[in-house]
Amino acid sequence: MLAAVTDAVVPVAGLGTRLAPLTRALPKELLPVGRTPVVGHVVEELAAAGVERVCFVTRRGKGAILDHFDDPDPGHAISFLAVRQAVQRGLGDAVLCAEGTVTGPFVVALGDAVLSAAGGAPAGIVARLGAAFAAHDAVAAIAVEAVPPEAISRYGVVAPRAEAAGGVLLLEDLVEKPDPADAPSRWAIAARYVLSPAIFGALRTTAPGTGGEVQLTDAIRALLHAGGTVVAVPLAPGERRHDVGSPASYARAFLDLALDDPELGPELRAHLVARLRDGG
Ligand code: UTP
């Protein structure tokens, strides 16, 4: 059995402008999704994958995220620390802020995206990323989900060159937010990564790209073009990504996970069925 990746970096320093005014005083990562804040779901998923240390990349006004995990009886063995991102220069820059807190391969899990399995249990994708990373001696393993062509330009997208055992995709390229006509595949990057510490050197020399932000995708691309192996692992059947990014995706995330919750689900389902039957 392969050893689990035990360090995770969880960026939570973004501005959350798309969710304003909800995020005027409240970090979006603490918005409730069912009975748990977004980032609580993320940590449950990491604990289930064997992660033992979580480093939040945070900023001014987001101290409540660490407060949330001051639980004397947390039900897992994770220890938490935080580093600050002073200026919001993008996801790649946020990951670079955590350099010095990890010693080996580490997970990056976006703090505003929940990955669930059938029935609402935590998805198993992080453990599969760790296994693919080790099996292919990779510099990066990236979670991907199939998205329809009209949505592809909102995501980082991977270009596979071959498929290995277990459906793992070997990549020849990846690109951030392509035009639909230029998208190299339907595989969108899905909020979870396992990365080699070599990423920090690549991030330091990555110029701001799409949106004026330092893109993690560009730094992984640099490692790939320097000869490193980069693999992508598709979400399994039943695994789903729930993004708390826009009001519409937040509403869907709350409904989906509340419906899957054994305590909330049955009554909510009956309420929705009655409401829709009465004409919405
Ligand atoms: P988003 O791309 O959703 O950006 O971040 P955002 O700033 O949070 O939201 P909008 O676009 O203004 O509405 C994805 C994840 O990366 C983190 C966010 O906190 C979120 O968990 N992030 C993003 C950072 O930590 N730092 C950044 O500079 C950007």
* pLDDT average, residue stretch 259-263: 96
Residue whose C-alpha is closest to residue 191's, from 41, 25, 37, 3:
41
Contact 83, 102 (CB under 8 A): no
In the prediction, which pLDDT does 74 show?
87
User: What spacing in Å lies between the alpha carbon of 28 and ligand 1's midpoint?
Assistant: 9
Q: What is the mean pLDDT of the chain?
A: 96
- Please report, rounded to a whole number, the percentage of residues in the chain having pLDDT higher than 70: 99
In the structure, what pLDDT confidence band is assigned to residue 76 with cuts at 50, 70 and 90? confident
CA contacts within 13 A on the Cβ side of 7: 17
Which amino acid is present at 57?
A: V
* pLDDT average, residue stretch 117-142: 96
Which atom, in ligand 1's list, is nearest to the CA of 93? 28
Q: How far apart are CA 126 and CA 110, in angstroms?
A: 12
Helices of type H across the chain? 38-48, 63-68, 91-97, 125-135, 198-204, 216-225, 247-260, 265-277
In CATH, the number for domain 2-271 is 3.90.550.10
Ligand 1, pocket residues at CB < 6 Å: 11-18, 29, 57, 85, 88-91, 93-94, 110-112, 245
Contact 204, 112 (CB under 8 A): no
Which atom, in ligand 1's list, is nearest to the CA of 18? 13
Relative orientation angle of helices 38-48 and 125-135, to the nearest 10 degrees: 50
In the prediction, which pLDDT does 2 show?
64
In the prediction, which pLDDT does 235 show?
98
Whether the model clears a pTM of 0.95, i.e. scores above it, the answer is: yes
Report the nearest-CA residue for atom 3 of ligand 1. 245
